[in-house]
Chains A and B, each alone.
Chain A
Amino acid sequence: MNGMLVFLGSLLLALMLQIVQLPDWAAMARPAWPLLVIGFWALYAPTSPAIAAAWVLGLCCDVLLNAALGQHALGLVVVAFLIRRLRGTLILFSSWQVALALAPIWALYIFLMFWIDGLARHAADANLRWLPILSTTLVWPLTAGLLDSILSRRARRNRMRLP
């Protein structure tokens, strides 16, 4: 129950961070927050409905950013699936190794978004499209650490209350 609350809360917060106003120079390098949150739940919480959540969150992103309906949904579902698939390997890595190993997955997501934009004939210059890959990789240890500490603190408290 409590875990569910953290789950939904983190998804909402990610949506908000995705559309909160940033100055122009920072907006180019905004980390893909929904990606980070979905990545965390897919990797560290095997029972959470990460793929379904990825799809709904993606649709919300599409509406908020006024992109083609299904664009972000597709990208997030692909990422959630890949991370779930590679979970067995990734879970053995140390945290900085995970951060590095996830970078290609973020890159795949950004490329998918770019590609779909191209298919939808939404021309946009491609020079700085790679910046979010960098920022997302840099922010990953922070996000994962924060969510992990919230979860484990809740788990500890619950365990103490049980007997």
Chain B
Amino acid sequence: MLGLKAVLFIALSITLMVAENRGAKVEPLRQWLSWALTPVMWLAASPANVSNSVDYFHSRETLRDENRELRDRLLQQDARLLRLASLEAENVRIRELLASSSALQDRVLIAEILATSQDPYRHQIVLNKGGKDSVYRGQAVLDAYGIMGQVVQVNQGSSVALLISDPDHGIPVEINRTGLQTIALGRGDGHGLSLPYLPGNADVKVGDLLVSSGLGGRFPAGYPVGEIHELRHAGGESFMEAIAYPKAHLNQGRQALLVWSERALPSSAPGEETVHVPIDLPAKPPAKAPKQAVVP
């Protein structure tokens, strides 16, 4: 009797796993469960919230210092923005000359980070915006410093995003200084990206900035992704590997930006794969095609 029950449940679990792997629709079950478990998530996040609210009682001194620092920063940023405005106008004119349609302004939405994945082997965050706010699967997630990752699961009122440092994640990047195109994969150690497909003679230096290239249509082009930290070239190997640190503050902060990039398809039913494949580019979504690296 005991054995029969165990076998039944084991068979059920295996069926679920296989079904999900084969692409069957188990998403409703997952969404329903995650809706039912919202209070648990909320309660589990409360210790962190309490420690955050302790910050509320800041001393006057710190607040004044911070205020002054922020005002200084604002002044600097304003000055830079002035220059940027003229550059943007110029860029628009040049793009019109080139008859290129890609816009500079992306539509964005600010989302609160509800939870970070507590499995140390998965780098994921839960955001408080979901299908109701027309978030779609594959959407890019940014913070103030760079690209954080992409949405992998959309629920009604929340969504799950995979960070660029997850070993399952890959993002097409270009090296800002030279324009060299390559792919950055997560290393899974929480704070590293790996660029494994660099030619041995590629012009890459420590400190080079990586920006998203927009190939594959999933991420908007031109956002910072990381900075080269180390170069490894094993003798006899035809490829060189570079290690980069993400620019985005992946495990700090409470907010993230969801971006509607111009080249992705508009939102469809949640849970449906929305991969927009441009005609002349590698015909696979970037997150799943590390082997299709574009090596110039």
Contacts and interface: CB of A to CB of B under 8 A. Distances in A.
Given A77-B6, A85-B2, A124-B188, A16 B119 contact: no
Interface string A4-41: 00000000100111111110100110100000000000
A52 B12 CA distance: 12
Interface in B12-52: 12-17, 20-21, 26, 29-30, 33-34, 37, 40-41, 43-45, 47-48
Given A16-B43, A21-B48, A51-B2, A68 B17 contact: yes
B103 to A, nearest CB: 33
Given A16-B43, A69-B30, A52 B160 contact: no
Nearest to A124: B121
Contacts of A22: 118
Given A63-B37, A65-B122, A70-B17, A81 B2 contact: yes
B118 A20 contact: yes
A63 B33 CA distance: 7
Nearest to A64: B37
Contacts of B30: 63, 69
B172 interface: no
Interface of A: 12, 15-22, 24, 27-28, 30, 51-52, 54-55, 58-60, 63-71, 73-74, 77-78, 80-81, 84-85, 116-117, 120-125, 128
Given A24-B190, A58-B13, A81-B2, A63 B34 contact: yes
Given A20-B44, A21-B118, A69-B17, A60 B33 contact: yes
Contact of B6 (A59, A65, A78, A124): A78
A16 B216 CA distance: 38
